[in-house]
Amino acid sequence: MRWKTVGIIGNAQTEGPGAPGQRVNFRYMDAVASIGAVPLIIPAMPDTQDIGHLIEILDGIVLTGARPNVHPRRFGHEPGPAYEPYDEDRDDVALALVHAAVEAGLALLGICRGMQEMNVAFGGTLYPEIRDLPGRMNHRMPKGETDPEVIYRPRHIVRVTPSGVFAEVFGTEEVLVNSLHGQGILEEGGRIVTEGWAEDGTQEAIRVAEAPGFALGVQWHAEYGAADDPVNRRLWEAFGAAL
């Protein structure tokens, strides 16, 4: 029996001892393993990748959250301190993977930055800092906190489109999620459909219109509690069923 294989995009690791490298938080790998698939790290290094080959050998792709943001020039905005830091090598690989995965019908799940990459890949734009907008809450993690149980605890409700894809996945139209992001969607990309919003109007759940396979993104960190959180577990099970 051939195991399903899920590629998880990496991020540049420049801090700490030794040479620069690539990293993926273990929770993403655990989440993929929890649905009976084999996690495979995709280095975000354009010169080492062949997107066509990745699409051929993988059954699904997870675009992870990350500290660096999508470079604003990718969506026609000028760079500035609010958008920093960047990982342009990841931009190259991730944006190409979005188009290739959707076209091939591979299961695609975007989480936090990954959801934002999906939006940018289809021509959308991003806010540099959600909390600066009138009427918006601070979606960033608690400042100075180090306890994962506090960092990843549910913080706000997301309401999803009745009878939409996410309502079917979750079995409800209202879910409670964590929040660890600064940026967010400004304008939807051409094929991006929003199906979930926080109480302050921030877009939290998207799908790619007319995608032949699973192509969903969420703004919260669904990798946390993937095995037992009632919301995140349903999302990973739906992703696994689509592989």
Residues 70-91 have a mean pLDDT of 92
* Residue 80 near residue 69, CB atoms below 8 Å: no
| pLDDT for residue 172 | 97
Cα-based angle 233, 219, 151 (whole degrees, multiple of 5): 75
At 155, phi and psi to the nearest 5?
A: -125, -25
Statement: residue 147 has pLDDT above 90: no
What is the biggest distance separating any 2 CA atoms in the chain, rounded to whole angstroms? 54
- pLDDT, tens digit, for every residue of 85-132? 999 999 999 999 999 999 999 999 999 999 999 999 999 999 988 887
Cα-based angle 164, 199, 144 (whole degrees, multiple of 5): 120
Q: For residues 52 and 30, what is the distance between their CA atoms, to the nearest angstrom?
A: 26
| pLDDT for residue 136 | 84
Statement: residue 223 has pLDDT above 70: yes
Residues 141-146 have a mean pLDDT of 78
| pLDDT for residue 21 | 82
| pLDDT for residue 18 | 66
Q: Could you tell me what percent of the chain has a pLDDT over 90?
A: 77
Token output for 207: 């799908």
Worst-scoring range by mean pLDDT, 33-42, 78-87, 143-152, 178-187?
143-152
| pLDDT for residue 128 | 86
Tell me the residue ranges of DSSP E strands in 37-191: 38-42, 60-63, 107-111, 125-127, 156-160, 174-177, 184-187
Confidence class for position 187, pLDDT limits 50, 70, 90: very high
Among residues 54, 61, 69, 5, the alpha carbon closest in space to that of 33 is found at 5
The one catalytic residue among 71, 112, 117, 181: 112
| pLDDT for residue 17 | 66
Establish whether 223 is a catalytic residue.
Answer: yes
| pLDDT for residue 4 | 96
| pLDDT for residue 132 | 78
The one catalytic residue among 145, 174, 223, 237: 223
Establish whether 181 is a catalytic residue.
Answer: no
| pLDDT for residue 178 | 92
| pLDDT for residue 135 | 78
| pLDDT for residue 16 | 64
The one catalytic residue among 71, 139, 181, 221: 221
At 94, phi and psi to the nearest 5?
A: -65, -45
| pLDDT for residue 13 | 78
Establish whether 168 is a catalytic residue.
Answer: no
**Residue 98: in which H helix or E strand, if any?**
helix 88-104
Question: Domain 5-241 sits in which CATH superfamily?
Answer: Class I glutamine amidotransferase (GATase) domain (3.40.50.880)
Among residues 39, 8, 58, 35, the alpha carbon closest in space to that of 237 is found at 35
Statement: residue 142 has pLDDT above 90: no
